Amino acid sequence: MALLALSGSSARASLNHRLIVWAAAQTELQVDVVRILDHQAPMFSVDVEAEIGIPETIQALFDQLAASDGLILATPEHNGGPPAMLKNTVDWLSRIDRKVFARKTLLLSTSPGPRGGITNLTHWANLIPHWGATVVGAHSLPRFNDAFDENGPVDPTFADAVRTSLKEFEKN
């Protein structure tokens, strides 16, 4: 079984990328960690699609996703919603296949603030099943700068919840 771990942040020094790297290390399954930054594309519109087709970067990400058995998505919250780059990528991916996320999916979010991106995380948990996903867990880590150190989350309850969700990928 192979998982794709997608960091949905447009920041190079992303807290969510650090979280997803930690999460990927918590399972013995094969995990390919990728950044949305490596799959940039022009802003989606039907006019741009008609002019250029599907961008190569999007097709490459789609192919990686299609080859995976599950998805771990870590995304920050921008003003209560998804980062524009991630939303744009999903818009492009869904043009290839509406059920682009037809696999088990673990959702993660963190931020320096007290809510840890929970508004956006809830949005994704409600939305991603429309693209075929089966959500196996959705976990928010508030106050990242205090709650995460060089070994990962300092709260064992959060760490155990993520590990429990990761075990769901191993079940048929």
Q: What is the CATH number of the domain that holds 81?
A: 3.40.50.360
Range of the domain at 64: 2-170
Q: How far apart are CA 34 and CA 29, in angstroms?
A: 16
pTM confidence score: 0.95
> Structural domain tally of the chain?
1
Flag whether pLDDT at 172 surpasses 90. no
Q: What pLDDT was estimated at residue 140?
A: 97
Strand 134-141, strand 104-110: pairing: parallel
Name the E strands within 14-133: 30-35, 70-74, 104-110
pLDDT confidence tier of residue 16, bands split at 50, 70 and 90: very high
Q: How far apart are CA 8 and CA 104, in angstroms?
A: 17
pLDDT confidence tier of residue 52, bands split at 50, 70 and 90: very high
Quick: pLDDT tens for 89-126.
999 999 999 999 999 999 999 999 999 999 999 999 99
Flag whether pLDDT at 24 surpasses 90. yes
DSSP H helix total and E strand total for the chain: 7, 7
pLDDT confidence tier of residue 134, bands split at 50, 70 and 90: very high
The percentage of residues in the chain with a pLDDT greater than 70, rounded to a whole number, is 99
Q: Which residues pair with 6 in a beta bridge?
A: 34, 73
